Amino acid sequence: MAKRSKVQVRPNHKGIQKLLNDPGIQRVVDSEGAKVLDRLPNGYEIVPGDGRRKRYRVMVATGSPEGRRDNAKRASLLRALGGR
């Protein structure tokens, strides 16, 4: 069995918080949301985060009754994310 190291890692929480809300990270998150939206048919939309979270986020959601029906029938959101 390998020896265990005595190294301790102490995360810099303020630094992590700053990184997760960085404009560069926001552009990457927006870009990924747009890629998911491009793989979906009409009836879906990007919903920006509400700002109350500790990190920036973007949601892709059904934006119409047609989108909800399509997602219920075909699990389109799951498939666009690479599942099933």
The pTM of this model reads 0.76
Q: What's the confidence (pLDDT) of residue 34? A: 95
Confidence of residue 1 (pLDDT cuts 50, 70, 90): low
Rounded-to-integer distance, Cα 71 and Cα 77, Å: 6
**Residue 62 belongs to some domain of the structure:** yes
Instruction: Decide if 37 is inside a domain.
Output: yes
CA angle 60, 65, 67 (to 5 degrees): 40
Range of the domain at 32: 13-80
Query: Does the residue 5 lie in any domain?
Result: no
What per-residue string of b and e applies to 21-59 under the rule 16 or more CB within 10 Å gives b? eeeeebeebeeebeebeeebeebbeeeeeeeeeeebebe
Does residue 68 lie within any of the structural domains?
Answer: yes
Q: Tens digits of per-residue pLDDT, 5-61?
A: 889 999 999 999 898 889 999 899 999 999 999 999 999 999 987 767 778 889 999
Residue 64: inside a domain, yes or no?
yes
Instruction: List, in sequence order, every residue forming a beta bridge with 44; answer none if it has no partner.
Output: 62
Q: Give me the number of domains the chain comprises.
A: 1
